[in-house]
Amino acid sequence: MTDFLACLTQQHDLRLVAVAAVICALGSYSTFALGRQWFRPGKRILWVMGAVLTTSSAIWATHFIAMLAFDPGMAFGFDLLATAASFLLAVLLVSLGALVVVAAPSRLGGIAGGLIIGIAIAAMHYTGMAAYRVQGTVSWEPVRVTVSILSGIAFTMLAMALAFSRSRLQRDLAPPALSLAVCSTHFIGMSAIRLTYDPAVAIPEGALDATVVAVLTANAALLIVGAALAALRLQMLNRRRLAAEHQRLRDLSDIAVEGLLICDRDTVAGVNRSLERVLGQSRETVLGRPIDQLLPGLSVSLIPSSHEIDATLRDGVAAEIPVRVIAQSITIDAKVHTVIAVRDQRERLRAEAAMHHLAHHDALTGLANRLSFTTALAECHAARRKEAGAFALLLLDLDRFKAVNDTLGHGMGDELLRRVAGRLRRAIGEDDLVARLGGDEFAILRPGATDLGAIQPFAERVIDLLGRPFIIDGHILDIGASIGVALAPQDGASPEQLMRNADLALYGAKEDGRGRYRMFESEMNARMQARRSLELDLRRAIARQEFDLYYQPQVDARSGRYDGAEALLRWHHPERGLVSPGEFVPLAEETGLIIALGEWVLRTACAEALHWPGHLTVAVNLSPVQFRDARLASMIRSILDETGLPAARLEVEITEGTLLQDEQRALAILQEIRSLGVRVSMDDFGTGYSSLSYLRRFPFDKIKIDQSFVRQTPQDKESAAIVRAIAMLGASLGIKTTAEGVETDQQSRFVAAEGCDQLQGYLFSRPVPPDRIAAVLRDPAPLAATA
């Protein structure tokens, strides 16, 4: 080592050594910069040839500049042929090395090429030394020679290995390593040389002297500087292009809606803004992290190309986000990267959940809808078969919902339904299911309810809960509900039959007067059958002329004389005999048959009244359903025209139900009827809960006090008080009052004494068949007759 340092410092001109080192460094740098062009598209061969030439020139020039720096202490010169041969040898061997690298552009190929180039350096050096002639003899120390050759080869291989490194820093160390290879070969080789002055030895004729070699090496150095400048410019261009490429890539990826992860093997090398947003983390915190930190359990090789797979993304707060990923290879800066597109699935899953909810729930109340209820019922039914479990099906219908909806508007109706749903939710148990089937119809599925004892308290509780008034926007809404109950398994072999039977029970509950529940009974089926056949018969009855109008006379309380009669419909059923209107009128209303029937009643009554004494009126009952037809008033007018009955002799009777459905419309039609000169009576007064308020809204001509009060007078104090109050009210408003259902003398005297204007009931006459009514009405003093 001391020899080596002594050789370098004492026998060399250090300034020239420095020049040699700079040339060597420039050459090495250019070598790699140019050589790397092989991996870019373009004139690759030319660039590699440039690199070969630069490398060879650098090795050669370094050698000869260093030789010029060397002072042998005797005359010296350079053999022309050997000098030229050393350069050609360098070019040849370096080309060979480059060929190997180009053929196998990998770290291993690089190392193999490095071996050959290392040999090239040694070959050049020692051929160059063969060209060196001094005035004396040259001898070599073999160990140092070996070390110089091996160190040169080792450093070259290292340089090539570094050039193929993944790390930028290591790659940047490749040119210095190559310089080190050239310099170590040369200077260790120089320390191996032993020169002995011998005046007998002469420098051969034609040997190049130092000046010529200086000019030659200066040329080679210029070539290297030129190459270095070119390389520098190339590198700058490359860098700029690369930066632009990266920027373009980033811009592109940033406008992508999906999250993008750019991976260098399993390391995150880039992310776009979408992914930053999804992650809630910035680019900087994610870069360089292994991919499975973000996508647990995933590595790049695990994602099949162009196949979407589901994965979870771990975000900044360690929450897991469901995602779908797809991978694609792209080449960035001559290197293969994997781009993983990451699609956030949260919104889609949310939307799906919402759709699922929508499909299975009622939008208004949030309860289960009919679809999910029938599914649950079917499941319950199937499970019952297996485990022999029992359950109850309750169908529920609000009693006076329609009135609220019609009079207070749909907004109020909707709010009421939501409140009802709220109460139902609170009423049911954990295992129960409550659903809204549509309109004001609800259903409850109650597993485990095996018998009456189990279901009755529950049904009562629901009835009670819905029977309490609702207070909405200052309105007190009293609606109530009816419930029909069917029990599985006894009340139905299939879910459909259970539903039908619960429906029958509900119908029964309503018939019973609403606000109550009914259990299904097998007779309900029979009754329903009977009802159906009655409906069929009813349809045929008009054509077959099975109807008749009876007339019940009405008596003037003051004079005791008849002053009118009420027309009452009768149906002579071919098999059943006389069917009461209480039984078939509701059916006719439900089926719409009441329209035609009502017209027939009006026409028949008006025609009949013409046979009566001229001061008598005829009263005709109108159904609420008839008010749905806007032509009701004009129909009445044409019947009056047709029959010739004076309008003043006709009375129409309506009930509270008429005003309950669509009050504005009903009032308008009533107004029209009244403007014809026809009188309008309020029937069954006192039974509805808002009778009083209707008196303010329409100028009725007559109030008919319901028979339920009259029947209980005068014993029942309350009924007596009501009759008295209504009679007084009528008197003060100037409206006539009629007491219906007068059956006894006592009742007759009481209601007359209280001021009722008119009396009607069995006491005076039962409804009379049409063929006898005219005769009955001619009787001058019916009251006296009964008294």
Contact status: 569 vs ligand C2E (CB under 6 A): yes
Nearer to Ca ion, 563 or 684 (CB): 684
Nearer to Ca ion, 537 or 706 (CB): 706
Q: Which does 152 bind (CB under 5 to 8 A by kind): ligand C2E, Ca ion, none?
A: none
Q: Which does 761 bind (CB under 5 to 8 A by kind): ligand C2E, Ca ion, none?
A: ligand C2E
Q: Which does 488 bind (CB under 5 to 8 A by kind): Ca ion, ligand C2E, none?
A: none
What part of residues 596-655 is at the interface with ligand C2E (CB under 6 A)?
Answer: 598, 601, 621-623
97 CB-near residues (< 8 Å, 6+ apart): 113, 114, 115, 116, 117, 120
Q: How far is the CB of 507 from Ca ion (least distance, A)?
A: 25
3-state secondary structure of 264: strand
Q: How far is the CB of 658 from ligand C2E (least distance, A)?
A: 10
**Binding residue for ligand C2E (CB under 6 A) from 761, 774, 782, 783?**
761
**Binding residue for ligand C2E (CB under 6 A) from 453, 582, 614, 734?**
582
Contact 524, 532 (CB under 8 A): no
**Binding residue for ligand C2E (CB under 6 A) from 552, 554, 681, 713?**
552
H-assigned helices in 610-703: 632-643, 656-661, 663-675, 691-697
Binding part of the chain for ligand C2E, among 75-83, 227-235, 469-477, 562-570 by CB under 6 A, reads 562-570
Nearer to Ca ion, 399 or 683 (CB): 683
Nearer to ligand C2E, 260 or 601 (CB): 601
Q: CA quadruple 69, 73, 75, 81: dihedral positive or negative?
A: negative
Q: How far is the CB of 683 from ligand C2E (least distance, A)?
A: 5
For residues 547 and 393, what is the distance between their CA atoms, to the nearest angstrom? 41
Q: Which does 743 bind (CB under 5 to 8 A by kind): ligand C2E, Ca ion, none?
A: ligand C2E
Nearer to Ca ion, 399 or 651 (CB): 651
Binding part of the chain for ligand C2E, among 173-181, 272-280, 528-536, 735-743 by CB under 6 A, reads 735-743
Give me the helix-helix angle, 495-511 and 370-387, nearest 10°.
Answer: 110
Contact status: 581 vs ligand C2E (CB under 6 A): yes
Nearer to ligand C2E, 39 or 762 (CB): 762
Nearer to ligand C2E, 86 or 655 (CB): 655
Contact status: 743 vs ligand C2E (CB under 6 A): yes
3-state secondary structure of 731: helix
Q: Report DSSP state, residue 517.
A: E
Nearer to ligand C2E, 501 or 681 (CB): 681
Contact status: 577 vs ligand C2E (CB under 6 A): no
Contact status: 741 vs ligand C2E (CB under 6 A): yes
**CB neighbours of residue 195 within 10 Å:** 18
Q: How far is the CB of 565 from ligand C2E (least distance, A)?
A: 11
Closest by CA to 519, choosing from 502, 533, 538, is 502
Q: CA quadruple 250, 252, 257, 261: dihedral positive or negative?
A: negative
Q: How far is the CB of 585 from ligand C2E (least distance, A)?
A: 5
**Binding residue for ligand C2E (CB under 6 A) from 166, 334, 762, 780?**
762
Contact status: 769 vs ligand C2E (CB under 6 A): no
3-state secondary structure of 644: coil
Contact status: 767 vs ligand C2E (CB under 6 A): yes
User: What is the C-alpha radius of gyration for the chain, rounded to an integer number of angstroms?
Assistant: 57
Q: Residue holding tokens 């959940």? A: 353
Q: Report DSSP state, residue 94.
A: H
Amino acid at 696: R
Nearer to ligand C2E, 281 or 687 (CB): 687
Beta strands in 279-363 (DSSP E): 309-314, 320-332, 335-344
Binding residues (CB under 5 A) for Ca ion: these are: 621, 653, 683-684, 740
Nearer to Ca ion, 135 or 707 (CB): 707
Q: Tell me the β-bridge partners of 193.
A: 140
Q: How far is the CB of 470 from ligand C2E (least distance, A)?
A: 30
Contact 25, 232 (CB under 8 A): no
What part of residues 341-360 is at the interface with ligand C2E (CB under 6 A)?
Answer: none
Q: Which does 580 bind (CB under 5 to 8 A by kind): ligand C2E, Ca ion, none?
A: ligand C2E
Contact status: 683 vs ligand C2E (CB under 6 A): yes
Contact status: 580 vs ligand C2E (CB under 6 A): yes
Phi, psi of 245 (to 5 degrees): -60, -45
383 CB-near residues (< 8 Å, 6+ apart): 389
Closest by CA to 282, choosing from 319, 258, 315, is 315
Q: Retrieve residue 492's tokens.
A: 């139905």
For residues 655 and 585, what is the distance between their CA atoms, to the nearest angstrom? 14
- Cis peptide bond N-terminal to 714, omega within 30: yes
Q: Which does 629 bind (CB under 5 to 8 A by kind): ligand C2E, Ca ion, none?
A: none
Nearer to ligand C2E, 197 or 762 (CB): 762
Q: Going by DSSP bridges, is the β-strand pair 758-759/736-739 parallel, antiparallel, or unpaired?
A: parallel
Contact 502, 484 (CB under 8 A): yes
Binding part of the chain for ligand C2E, among 108-116, 118-126, 428-436, 759-767 by CB under 6 A, reads 759-767
**Number of residues this chain uses to bind ligand C2E (CB under 6 A):** 22
Closest by CA to 127, choosing from 59, 173, 215, is 59
Contact 585, 569 (CB under 8 A): yes
Nearer to ligand C2E, 651 or 684 (CB): 684
Q: Report DSSP state, residue 586.
A: H
Q: Report DSSP state, residue 735.
A: -
Q: How far is the CB of 536 from ligand C2E (least distance, A)?
A: 21
Contact status: 568 vs ligand C2E (CB under 6 A): yes
Q: How far is the CB of 589 from ligand C2E (least distance, A)?
A: 8
Q: Tell me the β-bridge partners of 461.
A: none
Q: How far is the CB of 382 from ligand C2E (least distance, A)?
A: 47
Closest by CA to 620, choosing from 562, 701, 565, is 565
What part of residues 395-424 is at the interface with ligand C2E (CB under 6 A)?
Answer: none
Nearer to ligand C2E, 292 or 535 (CB): 535
Nearer to Ca ion, 51 or 723 (CB): 723
Nearer to ligand C2E, 208 or 742 (CB): 742
Question: Could you give the C-alpha distances from 330 to 44, 69, 287, 289, 294, in angstroms and in order?
Answer: 21, 52, 18, 20, 21
For residues 737 and 617, what is the distance between their CA atoms, to the nearest angstrom? 15
For residues 619 and 372, what is the distance between their CA atoms, to the nearest angstrom? 52
Nearer to ligand C2E, 34 or 601 (CB): 601
For residues 565 and 489, what is the distance between their CA atoms, to the nearest angstrom? 55
Binding part of the chain for ligand C2E, among 108-116, 325-333, 567-575, 664-672 by CB under 6 A, reads 567-575
Contact 344, 275 (CB under 8 A): no
Binding part of the chain for ligand C2E, among 45-53, 300-308, 561-569, 663-671 by CB under 6 A, reads 561-569
Q: Which does 415 bind (CB under 5 to 8 A by kind): ligand C2E, Ca ion, none?
A: none
In the complex, the residues that contact ligand C2E under the rule CB under 6 A are 552, 567-569, 580-582, 585, 598, 601, 621-623, 683-684, 707, 741-743, 761-762, 767
